[in-house]
Amino acid sequence: MAACFMANSLMHHRIISFFKLLVYQCLLFLTSCGVARNYSEQEMPKFEDTLANTPSSSSETLKMVSFNVQYGNDIEKVIFEFQNRPQLQDADILMLQEMDDIGTRQIAEALHLNYVYYPAVVHPHNGKNFGNAILSKWPISDSGKLLLPHQHPINKQQRIAVFAIVTVNKQPIAVYNIHIEVPLLSTAKRLEQIDTALRHAAKQPVPFSIIGGDLNAVGADVRTSFSSLFHEYGFEWATANVGATSKFLMQLDQLYVKGMSVIDAGAESEIKIGDHYPVWAVVKPYRVVDWY
């Protein structure tokens, strides 16, 4: 009897997951109309500025946040949430996806953060720049853009990862903000996109690394495949147990760390902006050398 109940529960869960994925795929298809204008140059366009007063000291932990701000909308609301929610306040490193250059600067100015931003495309949805930003209260240097392989199968959109060195109290940290293609592209090809960032990160001569962003990781099997690849490169999945990170009740957004232990992590599901929730993690380096 118990076995029958468990089998029925598993089947029910799979049916719900299938319909979630079906709805998600339909929405993705509807928003992919038109052809994207890609920024195929490796070095441009690039937007950056130094707007923070570097802290004189740091605690022994580091707080990082990733948030997909749907099409860079509702910037004033985003700023309010980052100023007023304890788990999002005073982040050392902030990674934003689906941003434009104007919204990125508005957030950086309001939160007094340094930033670097690269657009991937001019998005056909709204004709605005669409890309990834890294913001920090610490100095940002040696930034760049990685062009990820395989375009969107319908609108030919290019995906990118933005990387930078964030120096926290003399300790350089390699930070990668990545936005993987949606499941209209095969899992194998999306794994190649992740591997591009991981291979680049493996060449960085630094003891600490962070890779985060919107991995569009739909389905437990996909998340397992993604995390296995990260683990091959020595990364720990910091947000493995945070649950859903989107209004589709799927864990799309993730944070991975290398050279650090995870103290706490979560997703701010009460925020009603766009279709994603901010995800955050507090970590501590394994090796402390002039860290604080």
Question: What domains can you pick out in the chain, each with its CATH number?
Answer: 31-285 (3.60.10.10)
Chain position carrying tokens 């509807």: 30
Q: For residue range 131-147, list pLDDT tens digits in order.
A: 999 999 999 999 999 99
Least confident of 23-37, 108-122, 224-238, 255-269: 23-37
- How many C-beta neighbours within 10 Å does residue 5 have? 9
CA 29 to chain centre: 22
Tokens standing for 181? Answer: 């293609």
Whether pLDDT at 208 is above 80:
yes
Q: How many CA atoms lie within 13 A of 36 on its CB side?
A: 24
Tokens standing for 5? Answer: 């109940």
Q: Give, in degrees to the nearest 5, the angle at Cα 87 between 272 and 246.
A: 35
* pTM of the shown model: 0.88
Position 289 confidence tier, pLDDT thresholds 50, 70, 90: low
Whether pLDDT at 215 is above 60:
yes
Whether pLDDT at 29 is above 90:
no
Q: What mean pLDDT is reported for the chain?
A: 88
198, 180 Cβ separation under 8 angstroms: no
Tokens standing for 200? Answer: 């680049």
**Separation between Cα atoms, residue 109 and residue 135, nearest integer Å:** 11
What torsion, rounded to 10 degrees, do the Cα atoms 284, 260, 223, 40 define?
A: 110
67, 97 Cβ separation under 8 angstroms: yes
DSSP 289: S
- How many C-beta neighbours within 10 Å does residue 184 have? 15
Q: For residue range 217-266, list pLDDT tens digits in order.
A: 999 999 999 999 999 999 999 999 999 999 888 999 999 999 999 999 99
Least confident of 23-32, 86-95, 170-179, 231-240: 23-32
Least confident of 14-18, 181-185, 245-249: 14-18
Q: What is the pLDDT of residue 198?
A: 98
